[in-house]
């Protein structure tokens, strides 16, 4: 059975994609900790990050690094937060978002009912920032 993320990657469930490659994609979460909170997900269904091949893990982290750097710039944040939790969905994913303090690392504070228009605006803003940073070949039209 496919994971929720595989279903999103395959287009069976809508996703607000900001990055698409054959082996790794990124899309906004529906439970953001901050504006622009993105999930970086390998196409391969890997349950635990410790089970990922070094190549898959390196690719996921490189995409997360690029997205995080752009988030810092476009959201004027001092840092990009990054968490690999792995309990919500049994498919490796990295959370990356613009962070202002350690208080931003609290999943209990996530917005579980975000305004779809705000999510869409954040996806557009992040896509534009990624294109401006030179990553246009990986950014979907959206």
Within-domain flag for 25: yes
Read off the tokens for 20: 């698409």
Which structural domain range is residue 131 located in? Answer: 4-136
Return the CATH number at 42: 3.30.428.10
Per annotation, catalytic residue among 91, 93, 95, 112:
93
Active site annotation includes 37: no
Within-domain flag for 141: no
Within-domain flag for 93: yes
Nearest to 114 by CA among 39, 35, 41: 35
Within-domain flag for 142: no
Taking the whole predicted model, whether its pTM rises above 0.85 is answered as: yes
- Helix intervals (H) in the chain: 4-9, 54-74, 116-130
pLDDT at 81: 97
pLDDT at 86: 82
pLDDT tens-digit readout, 39-72: 999 999 999 999 999 999 999 999 999 999 999 9
Query: Taking a C-beta distance cutoff of 8 angstroms, is the pair 31, 109 a contact?
Result: no
Overall number of domains in the chain: 1
pLDDT at 1: 66
């Amino acid at each position: 059975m496919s994971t929720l993320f595989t279903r999103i990657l395959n287009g069976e469930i809508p996703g607000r994609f900001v990055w698409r490659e054959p082996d790794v994609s990124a899309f906004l979460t529906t439970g953001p900790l901050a504006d622009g909170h993105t999930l970086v997900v390998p196409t391969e269904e890997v349950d635990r990050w410790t089970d990922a091949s070094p190549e898959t893990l390196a690719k996921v982290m490189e995409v997360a690094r690029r997205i995080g750097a752009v988030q810092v710039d476009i959201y004027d944040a001092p840092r990009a937060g990054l968490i690999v939790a792995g309990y919500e969905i049994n498919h490796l994913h990295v959370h990356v978002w613009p962070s202002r303090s350690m208080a931003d690392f609290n999943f209990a504070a996530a917005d579980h009912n975000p305004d779809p228009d705000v999510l869409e605006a954040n996806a557009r803003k992040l896509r534009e920032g990624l294109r401006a940073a030179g990553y246009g070949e990986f950014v979907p039209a959206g």
